[in-house]
Amino acid sequence: MKKLVLSSVAAAAMVAAFAQAGVQAQEVTLRVHNFIPPVANPAKHFLIPWAKKVEAASKGRIKVQNFWTMSLGGTPPQLVTQVKDGVVDITFTLPGYTAGRFPKTEVFELPFVHTTTQATTAAIQDFQDKHLKDEWSAYHVLMLNNHAGALIQTKNPVLKMSDLKNLKIRTATRSGGLFLKSMGAVPVGAPLPKIPQLLSKGVIDGALLPFEIAPAVKMQDLVSHFSILEGKQPRLNTSVFSFLMNPTSYKKLPTDLKRVIDGLSGRNIAAGAANTWASIETPGRKVMASKSKNKFHTIPASEVAKMREAAKPAIAAWLKAMKGRGINGQELLDDARAMVAKYTK
């Protein structure tokens, strides 16, 4: 009887060991859905390398499948809902596509808050810890970051603020729309993939974009003029990116695979991402310069001062909208500016 009990215990231990080994050997496929094509710089230099790092760090136990240009269905504004509801495991998108859904995060998209990719991305990490936990509680946030900042890309030259009057300009964010309106322009909200059609049909006269993404929508062919600002803040504003994971998809991972994801999330990758977005501006600009028709302009400091003054009502409108939602917008704005200044060299 004693031998039988010992044998049973040993057998149970072996079953448990094999079961544990099965858990450790578990393979997971994570589906990443986004709105950009695989040839776009953020895809080539961030999303694809990130997937390879995850697969290498997990020793092949995690497989990352990227689905480009909304190939799993839906529209870019629906991406945040798709990942929240578990339709996909991960998404890379712009919170600005869903105006008002992430109101506190919008503060970094206001005019003249952003300085450099590195400074603003670092500031966003601090700001997230202090202000954004509730706003993003429905998601497992892999990272919030930003691009190098928007410049004015238009069919006709923009050399001063008055040149923007009545121009129909595409923007990705509500704050970008407020800014354009304050400049006398007509903002047109639209996701990135819509830009070529809108330009070719004359629905818009240009767009606010960084250089890095411009080749993905053929801006080198569709417009001829590219304007930045003179001074320490050469870009009008920036857009915040959200790299999000479904909370259940994360919770279902074994502990060791959670550590893989954690090691490639948040502050562990934010600085590298910022450097990536800064560096990919150069090849993007080279593509724009490859067409002899294209011209590059710097709006002089005297005009930039006018733009700063004209932008004040746009900021006031945002503050009023925050107050209407019971949010202390001035505190958020003050903190965002101070955090960006802290990291600006």
Same domain, 49 and 143: yes
Whether 128 has a pLDDT exceeding 60, the answer reads: yes
pLDDT given for residue 26 in this prediction: 67
Instruction: For residues 333 and 331, give the distance between their C-alpha atoms in angstroms, rounded to a whole number.
Output: 5
Same domain, 41 and 164: no
Whether residue 275 lies inside any domain: the answer is yes
Q: Assign residue 246 a region (left: φ > 0; alpha: ψ between -120 and 50; beta: otherwise).
A: beta
pLDDT given for residue 311 in this prediction: 97
Whether residue 88 lies inside any domain: the answer is yes
Q: Where are the alpha helices (DSSP H) in the chain?
A: 2-24, 41-42, 48-57, 79-84, 117-131, 174-182, 195-200, 219-222, 247-251, 255-263, 267-279, 281-289, 301-324, 329-343
Q: What percent of the chain has pLDDT over 90?
A: 92
Number of domains, the chain: 2
Cα 279–Cα 284–Cα 289 angle in degrees, nearest 5: 130
pLDDT given for residue 25 in this prediction: 56
At 223, the amino acid letter reads V
Whether 73 has a pLDDT exceeding 60, the answer reads: yes
Tokens representing residue 291 in the block = 């067409």
Tokens representing residue 324 in the block = 């209407």
CA-to-CA dists, residue 171 to 70, 179, 206, 227, 237, angstroms? 19, 10, 9, 15, 11
Q: Which helix (H) or strand (E) holds 63?
A: strand 62-67
Whether residue 71 lies inside any domain: the answer is yes
Whether residue 76 lies inside any domain: the answer is yes
- For 12-21, 41-50, 209-218, which range has the lowest pLDDT when averaged over its residues? 12-21
Residue 272, helix vs strand vs coil: helix
**What's the mean pLDDT when you consider all of the chain?**
93
Reported as a single tens digit per residue, the pLDDT across 265-322 is: 999 999 999 999 999 999 999 999 999 999 999 999 999 999 999 999 999 999 999 9
Instruction: For residues 84 and 103, give the distance between their C-alpha atoms in angstroms, rounded to a whole number.
Output: 17
Whether residue 14 lies inside any domain: the answer is no
Whether 5 has a pLDDT exceeding 50, the answer reads: no
CB 69 within 8 Å of CB 43: no
pLDDT given for residue 280 in this prediction: 97
Q: Which of 230, 249, 279 is the last residue of a domain?
A: 279
Reported as a single tens digit per residue, the pLDDT across 218-268 is: 999 999 999 999 999 999 999 999 999 999 999 999 999 999 999 999 999
Whether residue 19 lies inside any domain: the answer is no
| End-to-end CA, the chain | 77
Reported as a single tens digit per residue, the pLDDT across 21-67 is: 444 456 999 999 999 999 999 999 999 999 999 999 999 999 999 99
Domain residue limits at 204: 151-238+284-343
Q: Strands across the sheet with 206-209, in order?
A: 186-189, 168-171, 206-209, 151-154, 225-229, 295-299
CB 306 within 8 Å of CB 230: no
Question: In the predicted model, what is the mean pLDDT of residues 118-139?
Answer: 98
Whether residue 294 lies inside any domain: the answer is yes
pLDDT given for residue 272 in this prediction: 98
Same domain, 184 and 291: yes
Residue 161, helix vs strand vs coil: helix
Kindly report the pTM of this predicted structure: 0.91
Whether 1 has a pLDDT exceeding 70, the answer reads: no
| CA-wise closest residue to 121 among 143, 96, 146 | 146
Q: Where are the alpha helices (DSSP H) in 64-161?
A: 79-84, 117-131
The CATH number for 82's domain is 3.40.190.170
Q: What percent of the chain has pLDDT over 70?
A: 92
